[in-house]
């Protein structure tokens, strides 16, 4: 079906972690990477701190504060067990300390997408037609909340955490990773509805890249909505005689830096898909509990081939790409319906 409307999905992506500062007599920052937990004094009085040598320092731990610690070991000649607090080698003896909480090491997790109870094709079709039921909005709100990969700190792999991506020059391997990642999520959700999976397609991967190039060359972004002339040119160049946008769903986010990690980018892709599936029009996770932010399920109708047409329940061929212009990253979710790929009227040389 023609994808004539777009609910602009601009995601304000902010990756910022703060931790409590250590306060002795003045603030001392602690690196988040070293914090293993928090301690406080056992008794309601100040406690002398020690040096690594086991000698007294000139500082005390306050009973009113809790302190992040980065190490627990035996110090000095007497081998006294102590917690290292702060960056200045202050040690709080274990006999004077009470552990408040420990921080588990960052564990990698695999992103998943699951549709909640109440999210059915019948309900989706009603929402696609502009009349979502209260039950379906509730289900969509639940889906935005329970699918939380975009909110948690954890990434899928350590390599993702360490891989820095230039948004203007993704490598073929990086695009492949994101294509596989996004298709996996789409098909997990489709499986929940009993739908056939979308197919990874070499032909649509090339089409997706050509569409991204059209956006960059012509300085277009998601803020301009779908760039239909460029989409049409890319389709015709790839053997699809289409005169409007029948292939692109899109989401995006601001990013003033030209780089981000693969983990950060996957979380942005995840959030964009989540927005489209659950009809969410807010510009960040913080608005997900507001019913008024659930307004548009045309993207979901595309992703789940549920549009009240002869081809409902069919599957599409899929590819993914990214374009980055003027600090805006546009994510192009490109799919070619099988009825177009199989129709000689539209297919003049396209090979999935």
- pLDDT in the model for residue 71: 84
Count of helices and strands (H, E) across the chain? 9, 16
The Cα 211–Cα 175 span in angstroms is 14
- pLDDT in the model for residue 85: 86
The Cα 338–Cα 315 span in angstroms is 6
How far is C-alpha 46 from the chain's CA centre?
44
- pLDDT in the model for residue 45: 87
Task: Give, for all 352 residues of the chain, the pLDDT tens digit.
Answer: 556 444 344 443 322 222 222 233 323 333 333 567 888 898 888 899 998 899 988 888 888 888 888 889 999 999 999 998 865 678 899 999 988 866 566 789 999 999 999 999 999 999 999 999 999 999 999 999 999 999 998 999 999 999 999 999 999 999 999 999 999 999 999 999 999 999 999 999 999 999 999 999 999 999 999 999 999 999 999 999 999 999 999 999 998 888 999 999 999 999 999 999 999 999 889 999 999 999 999 999 999 999 999 999 999 999 999 999 999 999 999 999 999 999 999 999 999 9
Domain ranges of the chain: 36-102, 107-341
At residue 11, what are phi and psi to the nearest 5 degrees? -105, 120
Q: What angle do CA 213, 215, 218 make, to 5 degrees?
A: 100
- pLDDT in the model for residue 157: 95
- pLDDT in the model for residue 14: 28
Contact indicator for 279, 295 with CB cutoff of 8 Å: yes
- Beta-carbon-side half-sphere exposure of residue 233 (alpha carbons within 13 Å): 13
Beta bridge partners of 47: 61
What top-level class would CATH report for the domain 107-341? alpha beta
- pLDDT in the model for residue 93: 93
- pLDDT in the model for residue 21: 25
- pLDDT in the model for residue 34: 55
- pLDDT in the model for residue 87: 59
β pairing state of 199-200 and 316-325: parallel
- pLDDT in the model for residue 68: 83
Helices of type H across the chain: 121-128, 134-146, 158-162, 172-192, 202-217, 228-237, 262-278, 298-303, 338-341
- pLDDT in the model for residue 175: 98
DSSP string, 285-344: GGGTT-GGGB---HHHHHHTT-SSSTTTT--EEEEEEEEEETTEEEEEEEEEEHHHHT-T
């Amino acid at each position: 079906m023609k994808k004539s409307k777009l609910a602009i999905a601009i995601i304000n992506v902010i990756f910022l972690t703060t931790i409590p500062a250590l306060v002795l007599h003045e603030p001392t920052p602690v690196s988040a990477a070293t914090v293993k937990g928090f301690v406080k004094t056992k008794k309601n009085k100040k406690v002398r701190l020690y040096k690594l040598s086991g000698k007294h320092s000139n500082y005390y731990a306050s009973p009113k504060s809790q302190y992040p610690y980065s190490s627990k070991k035996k110090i000095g000649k007497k081998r006294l067990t102590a917690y290292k607090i702060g960056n200045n080698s202050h040690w709080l003896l274990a006999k004077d300390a009470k552990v408040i909480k420990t921080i588990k090491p960052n564990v990698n997790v695999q992103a998943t997408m699951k549709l909640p109870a109440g999210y059915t094709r019948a309900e989706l079709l009603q929402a696609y037609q502009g009349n979502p039921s209260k039950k379906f909005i509730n289900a969509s709100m639940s889906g935005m909340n329970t699918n939380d990969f975009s909110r948690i700190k954890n990434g899928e792999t350590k390599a993702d955490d360490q891989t820095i991506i230039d948004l203007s020059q993704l490598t073929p391997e990086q695009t492949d990773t994101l294509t596989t990642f996004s298709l996996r999520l789409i098909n997990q959700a489709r499986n929940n509805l009993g739908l056939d999976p979308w197919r990874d397609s070499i032909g649509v991967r090339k089409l997706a890249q050509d569409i991204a190039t059209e956006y960059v060359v012509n300085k277009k972004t998601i803020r301009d909505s779908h760039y239909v002339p460029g989409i049409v040119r890319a389709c015709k160049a790839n053997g699809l005689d289409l005169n409007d946008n029948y292939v692109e769903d899109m989401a995006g986010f601001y990013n003033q830096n030209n780089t981000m990690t693969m983990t950060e980018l996957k979380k942005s892709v995840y959030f964009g898909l989540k927005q489209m599936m659950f009809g969410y029009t807010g510009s960040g996770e913080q608005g997900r509990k507001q019913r008024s932010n659930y307004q548009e399920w045309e993207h979901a109708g595309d992703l789940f081939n549920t549009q009240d047409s002869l081809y409902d329940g069919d599957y599409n061929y899929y590819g993914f790409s990214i374009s980055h212009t003027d600090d805006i990253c546009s994510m192009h979710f490109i799919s070619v319906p099988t009825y177009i790929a199989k129709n000689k009227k539209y297919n003049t040389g396209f090979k999935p």
